[in-house]
Amino acid sequence: MNQNKPVQGDINMKKVLPIALIVGLLLLLIIFWSKMTITIGAGEAGVIFNTFEGGINVEEAPLGEGFHFIAPWNKVYIYSVRQKENSEDMKMLSSNGLEITIDVSAWFRPVESKLPYLHKIIGKSYETQIVVPAIRAAARSVIGRYTPEEIYSTKRDAIQEEMYTETKKILDQKYIFLDRMLIRSIVLPEKLKAAIESKLKQEQLSLEYEFKLTRAKKEAERQRIAAEGEAAANKIINSSLTDGLLKMRGIEATIKLAESKNAKTVIIGSGKGGLPLILNN
C-alpha cells in the first residue's frame, strides 16, 4: 500500500538541490565578480587583452572612465592619459666642441584613441623607452648646430622651437602627443660665460653710442631744416613789404588809433617815410 508514496528523503533532496544550485551560482559570482568588472578612474583609459581572441585588438576602442563589465578570462591594462612632465639635465657639445649643460622640460601624454597600438608596440614603460631618448636625441642634434654664444644669448628661442619640432616628429610616430618643450636653464663654463657676457656688454654700449649719434644727427638736421624754412619765410615777407604797402598799412593803423577814445596827438606825414607820427598825451 505504501510503495507509491514518496519517501521523505526524496522530497527533501528536491528542495535542497535548487537551493544548492543558487548558492553555488552566488559563490561563483562572488569569486569571479572582481574579474568580470572593472572601474576606470578619472584621467585613465583601459586596453583590453583578449585571451582567446588574439590578444590586443588595435582597432578596439579603449575603455573610458567609469564602470565596465568584461569577460573574466580577459585582462585590462590601465593607462593614465593625463599630461605628464619630464625634466632632463643633459651635457652635450656645441658646434665648436665646447661642453654645455642644458636643462629641458617636456609635457606629453599618450594619444588615448591609439592606446591599443601603444600597448602592443611599446607598453606602459613608453616614457623611459621612447620619450626620454627622443628628448635627448633632439637636444643633442639641435645644440650641435649652434655656438655657445648663440645658445646662451641670441638663439635660445629658435633652439627651443627646433628641439620641440624634432622631438614631436619622433613621438608622433609612437602615438604620444607632445604639448610643449621648455629650456629651463643653460650652464656654460665660467670663463666662457664671462667672455660672452663681456662681449654682449660691449656690443650693447656700441649700440647705445650709435643710437646717440643717430639721434644727434637727426636733431641737427631738424634744426637746419627749421632754420632754412624760417630764412625762406623772412625772404618772402621782406620781398612783399614795399614802401606803398607800408604806407597803406600805416594809414589804416592811424585811422584806427584816431577813432579810439584814448587821448593822443597825431601829426600827419611827420614819421619815417611820410608815415603819421603818434604822440600820447
Instruction: Compute the distance between CA of residue 213 and CA of residue 201 in angstroms, rounded to an integer.
Output: 19
- CA 205 remoteness from chain centre: 32
Mean pLDDT of the region 100-111: 93
Q: How far apart are CA 19 and CA 271, in angstroms?
A: 144
- What does the pLDDT read at residue 35? 76
Is pLDDT of 5 > 60? Answer: no
Give residue 130's pLDDT.
94
Task: Using a cut of 0.75, tell me whether the model's pTM lies above it.
Answer: no
Least confident of 55-59, 139-143, 146-150: 146-150
- Torsion, Cα 265 266 267 271, to 10 degrees, reads 120
Distance between CA atoms of residues 146 and 140, nearest Å: 11
Question: Could you tell me the end-to-end alpha-carbon distance of the chain, in angstroms, rounded to an integer?
Answer: 172
* pLDDT for 237: 67
CA–CA dist 223, 266 (Å, integer): 44
How far is 209 from 205, CA to CA, in rounded Å?
6
Residue 274 gets the label, from left (phi > 0), alpha (psi -120 to 50) or beta, of left
Q: pLDDT class for 1, splitting at 50, 70, 90? A: very low
CATH no. for 84-112+121-193: 3.30.479.30
Which residue did the predictor score with more confidence, 135 or 30? 135
Q: Where in the chain is the domain with CATH 3.30.479.30?
A: 84-112+121-193
